[in-house]
Amino acid sequence: MFLRALFVLLLGAGVAFYEVPRLIQQQMKRELIVFSCFLLIGVALALALSLNLPIPNPTKGIEYIFGPLEKLIYPGPE
């Protein structure tokens, strides 16, 4: 389990060392910020998977957000 987590961290660091210098050289600050955010989210989720931690289902979050909106649009029989 430790080796899988180490592999995920090394892979994330490798991707960062490959992409970040080019983004800095071309002065793409916004792209660097977005890239860093997505890379951190991806590495965090991959670490959680490699450590067998529970990961929340994104469908439940979408249902929580859009459930009330659906009831406003389609009220259904009462």
Ordered per-residue pLDDT tens for the chain, 78 residues: 889 999 999 999 999 999 999 999 999 999 999 999 999 999 999 999 999 999 988 899 899 989 888 888 887 765
Domain limits at 29? 2-73
User: What pTM was estimated for this model as a whole?
Assistant: 0.73
Judge whether 38 lies within some domain.
Answer: yes
How many independent structural domains does the chain possess? 1
C-alpha triplet 53, 18, 47: angle, nearest 5°: 5
Q: Does residue 16 sit within a domain?
A: yes
Whether 78 is in a domain gets the answer no
- Does 57 fall in a domain? yes
Q: Answer whether residue 60 is part of any domain.
A: yes
> Which residues, including other chains, have CB under 8 Å from residue 45's CB and lie 6 or more apart?
55
